[in-house]
Amino acid sequence: MARKRMIDPSFWSDEKVARLSFAGRLTFIALWTFAEDTGVGRGDPRLLKSQIFPYDSMTTEQFKQILCEIAASGMIRLYRVEEQHYYKVVNFKKHQKISRPTPAKLPDIASGDQKVIEIDSVRTHGGLIEDSCAIEENIKEKNIIKSNIRERKEPYGSRKNIFLSPGEYEELCKRLGKERTDQLIEKMSLYMAAKGVRYEDHEAALLKWAGHSFDAPPAAEPSRDALGAYELAAIEQMGDLL
Residue 181 pLDDT greater than 90, yes or no: yes
For residue 4, tell me if it sits in a domain: no
Same-domain status, 81 and 131: yes
For residue 1, tell me if it sits in a domain: no
Residue 210 pLDDT greater than 80, yes or no: yes
Closest CA to 94 of 4, 34, 11: 11
pLDDT, one tens digit per residue, over 16-30 is 888 989 999 999 999
Residue 237 pLDDT greater than 90, yes or no: no
Residue 106 pLDDT greater than 90, yes or no: no
Same-domain status, 55 and 137: yes
For residue 158, tell me if it sits in a domain: yes
What does the longest C-alpha to C-alpha distance in the chain come to?
Answer: 71
Residue 228: predicted pLDDT: 53
Instruction: Report the distance separating Cα 224 and Cα 162, nearest Å.
Output: 16
Q: 28: domain range? A: 9-142
Same-domain status, 125 and 201: no
Under the banding of pLDDT at 50, 70 and 90, the label for residue 182 is: very high
